[in-house]
Amino acid sequence: MMEGALGLFALAYSGLVLFVLAGSLKKVLPPFRAALAAFALSSAVHGATTLLMGEQALMALAFWGIPHLMILPLLLFAARRQSNTADR
């Protein structure tokens, strides 16, 4: 039961971080590049910090990596819609 709640928290946190970071980067980059840069930056930071976990590093990496990968298609879809509306 606790793992499910933690997984849901990780998914919500990943979505919040990625969308806020992409929104901030959108001011200097096109929407699609901002989404990819946000994913790369967030994955690098979370990946590096989870490697500090020692023996539980692989589990911690999966805890943050899987939600990031689940949010990525939504982030790219939103970026595509924003770039299409900006072209009109």
pLDDT at 48: 84
What is the DSSP-derived secondary structure letter of residue 27? T
For the cut 80, the answer to whether the pLDDT of residue 69 exceeds it is yes
From 7, 6, 4, 34, select the one nearest 21 (Cα to Cα). 34
**In contact, 75 and 39? CB cutoff 8 Å:** yes
> What's the full length of the chain, in residues?
88
pLDDT at 35: 93
For the cut 90, the answer to whether the pLDDT of residue 83 exceeds it is no
pLDDT at 88: 63
**In contact, 78 and 36? CB cutoff 8 Å:** no
For the cut 80, the answer to whether the pLDDT of residue 64 exceeds it is yes
**In contact, 8 and 66? CB cutoff 8 Å:** no
Domain layout of the chain by residue ranges? 27-87
Query: Could you report the per-residue pLDDT of 6-62, keeping only the tens digit for each?
Result: 778 888 888 888 899 999 999 999 999 999 999 999 988 888 888 888 888 888 888
For the cut 80, the answer to whether the pLDDT of residue 87 exceeds it is no
The reported pTM is 0.82
